[in-house]
A and B are shown apart, each in its own frame.
Chain A
Amino acid sequence: MSDLLESLQFFSPELLLVIFGVFTLISDATLSKRDSAKCVSIALMGVITAILASIILYAFFPAGDKAIMIFSGQLSIDKFGLMFKIIILVGTALVMMYAPSAREFHGRRMGEYYLLLMIAAIGMCMLVTANTMLMLYLSLETMSLCCYLLVGYLKEDRRSSEAALKYLIFGGVSAAIMLYGISLLYGVTGTLVISEIGPVLEMLKYPTPTPDSAKLGVPVLMGVLHNSMAVWVALAMILGGIFYKVAVVPFHFWSPDAYEGAPTPVSAFLSVASKAAGMGILIRIVSEIIVPIYEPFRSIYGTVQIAEINLWPYIFAVIAVLSMFLGNLAALRQKDVKRMLAYSSIAHAGYMMIGITVATYNATNLISPTGVYNSEGFVAVMFYLVVYTFMNIGAFLVAMVVINQKGNCRLEAFNGLVYRSPFLAIAMGFFLFSLAGLPPTGGFIGKFYLFKAAINDGWYWLTFLGLINSVISLYYYARVMNAMTFVQPDTEAELHTEPLDRVVMGLCIFPIIVTGLYFWPVYSFSLNSFNIW
């Protein structure tokens, strides 16, 4: 009982979301249908207090503690998880702020929309702090279920329903496969606790050195699990489920359709918050399960040697390359900006996979002279996610404003935007150039860190392919710029942007510029947050 009560304070962000979610629903019931969008204020208040709670938890995190286990070890609250919570919640708040002006939602009750967003956010928050496989699965499903509903929120719209159905079917299958993987892993290790699985597997693989073998200084590689297929298959299945959330090749099929069909704020939410949550749990699984299995063997006499070549980094690298190329090349051909952004977000997930690749490689295939792994790759991913949140949400917001006026966001709808709304065009310029990774924007610094981590460990070919992709991506971002600035508009009418949307754009541009010019605070924030190892 006392555990439960003590746990509650560390669970405050989620609790606040629940409480305010209920209030949102109640207030929606008291409002007329026309004013329904006004309940955003309560929902937003909930998310903002949740952000504040996360920040407070982060700031007053007991020094020296790695993680605080709550609810009998179901969730592990650590700085890493809290940072991801902050990213996810900030993304959610920004997405909420621009929903009221979405034309797509006009004439609908909005209370449930906000509630679903909040529950999805709760699922994501729990996902990034999950400490057992069961919790992981539950929170993943919580989040997925809400996302399916959100994608299909425009019930009468055929494309929205189709997108939701596609998303649901793919999602259901991948969740089932993941669950199977979890059960396999449970069968092998006998535990569901994520942080225990790795050490257990390590133990099974390398039993304690016998006095004889220790005398010889040779590590004993006679573990029962050597070359075990079961662990491989189980891990592949679990990672597959996560990759589905992150939307990397070959688990990306749902994303362009879902992003295109979904209401624009939902697309933004999926592309940012869902991706961040997926990346969070991916980093956790990689560093808590994969790395311990393969990390260099330490005998009791302190001799260190590489146990076995770990193939996971190479698999991640292939996924990264495929995602980058497929995302960028497919985006080249898109006429619809929303769909283009969907493909570009696949490519961005590919860039982030570079960081994951490098960190995994570093921890398992290299012997570190200091005994401390270089977590640069993971930190770079975290930094990238911070910047990516703002630039992608901003880009989707501009697309939404255009949709509000034109009804679609095909490339022609952007024609001459700079003459009709200079502010909107300049904002979009910032977002696109940041997505393309040009200085002095945060997108450049994000890529800079990813590639720096890759070069540091000698992944030159991966860096090279990543940079080629930057150039390819520039082409389609430049095409939007081209339409916005070089083509004359078909109407002279000024494009109206809601004040709140302008505020959101400002909130997105500011961090992009700040991280571009003085990025140390954000980087050190990421660096301090990564404390899993």
Chain B
Amino acid sequence: MYFQGLLSMTIFLPLLGAGIILCIPSREKQAIRIVAACASGLAAIMGMLIYIFSYQNTGSVGFDDPNAFLLVEKVSWIPQFGISYFIGVDGFSGPMVVLSSMLGFLSVFVSWGIDKGVKGYFSLLLLLITSMIGVFCALDFFLFYVFWELMLLPMFFLIGIWGGPRREYAAIKFFLYTLSGSVLMLIVMIYLYLKTGGTGEARTFNLFAIIEAARGLNTQQQIWVWLGLGIGFAIKVPIFPFHTWLPDAHVEAPTAISVLLAGILLKMGTYGFLRFNMTMLPEGQAHFSYWLALFGVINIVYGAMVAMAQTDFKKLVAYSSVSHMGYVMLGFAAMTPMAISGATFQMFNHGTSSAMLFMLVGVLYERAHHRDINGFGGIGSKMPIYYGLSAVGFFAALGLPGLSGFVSEAFVLLGSFQTYPVFTAIGCFGVVLTAGYLLWTIKRVFLGKLNPRYETLEDCNGREIFYLTPLAIIAVILGVFPFLVLNIINGTAHALAVFNGY
């Protein structure tokens, strides 16, 4: 086992970096940035190792079998309450861990230009990265909850201190929404904890014991537990009508935080559905899958339509996230292996493509200092590199064949059609809407006559190319060779679908 301790290192290297940053005097801005880059870079390398390791062991499906998880580490934490530091990855969490570590690394470069409170910013950013990776790795409900909540604090401050003009409002709104979701989760967590442990056995927060306990509940109990967890995760996803915090948070957050928010934080909600609702509560899931599909489709269509009406570039991308997460929910509702694979893959692809879109918006905003889509025009000729990278990002997001978004959306729609033909048909219509607003945006921003204000616009610099290119490459590669990620997901997705009665 050369990989022993790999996950822990991935989780805690950024935290170590944050600790080092706290010891550096705050005027050494460059040193702080370099430490942040090194710490998150090492985590990203670990992430790649995790990817390689998962790819080599695709037979290990994980899901509800503790022996089928990879890179498992288990250390007793508070044995009297059955709380342990228990982590591991499977087909659902593996890609997410890879994505988080990678986007964390890139986001350090996105925020290279931050000049106010550098020390605080980068230490909080690294703390955020630690908690994000931790959430995906945790196999102990208590540990999961601690990481889940730990993420709120850096997020609150990063939006509130380094955000846009309405940052205070956005930060508090984000904080309150997510906390309301997580307190519901807390009730369920305690409830399920008290259901574990039969006669003579100690109670435990071990996820697998919790899974067993939850499956033993009767239908009525499952429905309530599903609802408690589901609302908590739905706020995070966000599913309509809990989505209103998202545009505010995105618009006000600094670029790097938007990147992580769209790329990782939204995935935590859908990951929660996979890991908890669908794994633990087959009857609850069966009871609610129709509603999940309905709200998924509402997300797709509503998100796309609202996005179309936006003139703020960042808000448009934010609503496009709402729309894209709808596909994930639709796939979860359908529960065929193909739909679940597609939905999980969509989580990964949306993580890269929406992150890229936010980075692109950030690049433009740094130059023009506004985000009004109608205020640009014809800048494609001034910024050819930027235009090229944008085109990849936009087309990946709208699902052009040959790019990553297409594969996952096609999988979701194909897989869902057997279960929910009508919803899927409406969902397909969403693809057209997506293409509509994204192409229209390209037209308004890049094409047409050059706006005379932007005669002297500079093209992307080296740093921007450095953080945009990897995502563009991933979008292309996964469009052509989707199996690179799908192989990891498929086994687990299949096991989940079979469990849910496919």
Contact = CB atoms under 8 A, between A and B. Distances in A.
A471 B153 contact: no
Contacts, number: 76
Interface in B145-175: 145-146, 149-150, 152-153, 156-157, 160-161, 167-168, 171-172, 175
Contacts of B194: 452, 455-456
A463 interface: yes
Given A474-B175, A478-B156, A485-B160, A438 B187 contact: no
Given A451-B187, A481-B160, 8 more contacts: A439-B149, A452-B194, A463-B190, A467-B184, A467-B187, A478-B172, A487-B168, A520-B78
A71 interface: no
Nearest to A426: B120
Interface in B106-123: 120
A471 B145 contact: no
A444 B187 contact: no
Given A455-B194, A486-B168, A463 B149 contact: no
B80 interface: yes
B193 interface: yes
Given A438-B152, A482-B160, A471 B80 contact: no
A524 interface: yes
A439 B145 contact: yes
Contact of B153 (A438, A479, A523): A438
B81 interface: yes
A507 interface: no
Interface string B180-208: 10011011001101100000000000000
Interface in A474-526: 474-475, 478-479, 481-482, 485-487, 518-520, 523-524
Interface string B233-259: 000000000000000000000000000
B191 A475 contact: no
Contacts of A452: 190, 193-194
Given A439-B149, A485-B161, A486-B167, A471 B176 contact: yes
A433 B156 CA distance: 12
Nearest to A475: B176
A317 to B, nearest CB: 17
A219 to B, nearest CB: 29
B42 interface: no
B149 A468 contact: no
B160 A433 contact: no
Nearest to B79: A520
B179 interface: yes
Interface size range of chain A in the complex: 20 to 34
A461 to B, nearest CB: 11
Contact of B187 (A440, A455, A471, A524): A455
B81 A470 contact: no
Contact of A448 (B156, B168, B172, B186): B186
Contacts of A520: 78, 80-81
A455 B176 contact: no
Contacts of A487: 168
A518 B157 contact: no
Contacts of A455: 187, 190-191, 194
A438 B77 CA distance: 19
B156 A467 contact: no
Contact of A471 (B78, B160, B179): B179
Contacts of B176: 471, 474-475, 478
Nearest to B183: A467
A474 B179 contact: yes
Contacts of A475: 172, 176
A471 B177 CA distance: 9
Interface string A410-446: 0000000010000000000000010000111000100
27 contacts: A438-B149, A438-B153, A438-B179, A439-B150, A440-B149, A448-B190, A455-B187, A455-B194, A456-B194, A460-B187, A463-B190, A464-B187, A467-B186, A468-B183, A470-B179, A470-B183, A474-B179, A478-B176, A481-B156, A481-B160, A482-B168, A485-B160, A486-B160, A486-B161, A486-B168, A486-B171, A523-B80
A418 to B, nearest CB: 8
B171 A482 contact: yes
A478 B167 CA distance: 13
Contacts of B120: 418
Nearest to B147: A439
Contacts of A448: 186, 190
B183 A482 contact: no
Interface in B215-230: none
Given A438-B153, A460-B187, A470-B183, A524 B172 contact: no
A456 B194 CA distance: 7
Contacts of A524: 80
A369 to B, nearest CB: 11
A442 to B, nearest CB: 13
What 8 A-B pairs are tightest by C-beta distance, nearest first? A467-B183, A486-B160, A439-B146, A439-B149, A455-B190, A452-B190, A486-B168, A471-B180
A448 B146 CA distance: 12
Nearest to A455: B190
Nearest to B184: A467
Contacts of A485: 157, 160-161
Interface string B52-91: 0000000000000000000000000110110000000000
Contacts of A482: 160, 168, 171-172
A23 to B, nearest CB: 43
Nearest to B159: A486
B1 to A, nearest CB: 28
A485 B161 CA distance: 7
A449 B184 CA distance: 16
B161 A433 contact: no
User: Most B CB atoms within 10 A — which of A456, A479, A481?
Assistant: A481
Contacts of A467: 183-184, 186-187
A466 B180 CA distance: 12
Contacts of A479: 172
Nearest to B188: A455
A150 B223 CA distance: 54
A516 to B, nearest CB: 9
A481 B81 CA distance: 33
Interface string B312-355: 00000000000000000000000000000000000000000000
Nearest to B152: A438
A444 to B, nearest CB: 7
Interface string A122-149: 0000000000000000000000000000
Contacts of A478: 156, 171-172, 175-176
Nearest to A457: B194
Contact of A440 (B81, B146, B172, B180): B146
A363 B318 CA distance: 53
A460 B146 CA distance: 22
User: Most B CB atoms within 10 A — which of A444, A451, A452, A471?
Assistant: A471
A466 to B, nearest CB: 9
B149 A444 contact: yes
Nearest to A468: B183
Contacts of B168: 482, 486-487
A460 to B, nearest CB: 7
Contacts of B187: 451, 455, 460, 463-464, 467
Contacts of A470: 179, 183
A28 B184 CA distance: 55
User: Most A CB atoms within 10 A — which of B161, B176, B190?
Assistant: B190
B221 to A, nearest CB: 11
Nearest to A479: B172
A451 B190 contact: yes
A438 B78 CA distance: 19
Contacts of A481: 156, 160
